[in-house]
Structure 1
Amino acid sequence: MNKMDQQKDIQLAVDLRTVVTRLIKILRRHSVTADKLSLTERSVIAALDLHKELLPNELATMEKITTQSMSQILANLQQRGLIKRRISETDKRKAIITLSETGAQMLYQVRTERNAWLNEAIEATCTAGEQELLKKAIGPLTKIVNFE
């Protein structure tokens, strides 16, 4: 591959990163509910929604932060009533973290606010053909997201 082809390939990565980053920032602005929590707190709530229950060290590993930092985040979320802790029946030293009803409602409200804005933006700015292109792009984008 020559240098010109490499630059074109890199430009695709640059353009994709730029547009995805801007979209994320815009989506964050379009949820009043989400402003009440940090990015890591929102991520922890989403992980608990997906996995139903996790140990604090599992959450820390997923978020790539220390267990001490996760402890602070969990204490804040528990104080707000967004998560619940219960002691493991098999190992009394372990706390199992789950999403509370209030936490689930907040997560779903954030998603609803963001989905509504994104749907409105897509309908207002994209032709039917462009909307089909977006649908086709979801598969390759998902592959990129899952690449480690």
Structure 2
Amino acid sequence: MMELSEDDLAAVSTLRSAVMRLSRRLRHQRVDESLSPTEMSVLGTLARCGSATPGELARKEHVQPPSMTRIVAMLEGKGLVRRDPHPDDRRQVVVRQTEQAEAMLEKSRSLRNAWLAQLVEGLDEKERAVLREAAPVLEKLAHL
């Protein structure tokens, strides 16, 4: 693996700081203020990955299984997920998002996209071109 140049390392530092600030600001653009960031993250994971057992969700979200059990119970109480019997193991359940969760997530995505689009409108055409070029690279970094 090749070493990064000083310019690359400076860009990494700038990128880290900018991504953290932007992420924090995006998290504040929420449809449902009653949900914690972790609860929103669990719903997002279910939307991206499909149904999962509480144990699988705990691993994906990097929380302890008892914590995930509480999170799922809270989400179920709000009508955002349901627990179905596991098809192969009757000792387990499979957590699925509800239509209410899907609608809320779509509304949240729309709100965040609109907020971000408003920021992008403030950029000049050259900056927008750079952003269009950088978006796939940032997406790749997010999934490495």
Q: Normalization by structure 1: what TM-score?
A: 0.88
CA distance in 2, matches of 1:112, 1:65: 28
Note the residue ranges of structure 1 that are not aligned, 5 or more in a row. none
Q: Which residue of 2 aligns with 1:24?
A: 23
- The alpha-carbon deviation at position 39 of structure 1 amounts to 1.5
Count of residues paired in the alignment: 141
Deviations 1:74-118 (A, max 9, x none): 011101111011112322111011001111111111111111111
Partner SS state of residue 33, structure 2: helix
- The alpha-carbon deviation at position 6 of structure 1 amounts to 5.1
CA distance in 2, matches of 1:35, 1:8: 40
* Amino acid paired to 2:102: A
**Partner residue of 1:144 out of 138, 141, 144:** 141
* Amino acid paired to 2:140: K
RMSD: 1.5
Q: Which residue of 2 aligns with 1:11?
A: 10
Partner SS state of residue 63, structure 2: coil
CA distance in 1, matches of 2:7, 2:127: 23
2:44 and 2:105 in contact (8 A); partners too: yes
Partner SS state of residue 69, structure 1: helix
* Amino acid paired to 1:91: D
Residues 1:56 and 2:49 aligned together: no
- The alpha-carbon deviation at position 34 of structure 1 amounts to 4.2
Residues 1:132 and 2:129 aligned together: yes
* Equivalences for residues 1-148 of structure 1 within 5 A: 7-31=6-30, 33-123=31-121, 125-147=122-144
- The alpha-carbon deviation at position 130 of structure 1 amounts to 1.5
Partner SS state of residue 49, structure 1: helix
* Amino acid paired to 2:50: K
Q: Normalization by structure 2: what TM-score?
A: 0.90
* Amino acid paired to 2:87: E
- The alpha-carbon deviation at position 7 of structure 1 amounts to 4.3
2:27 and 2:37 in contact (8 A); partners too: no
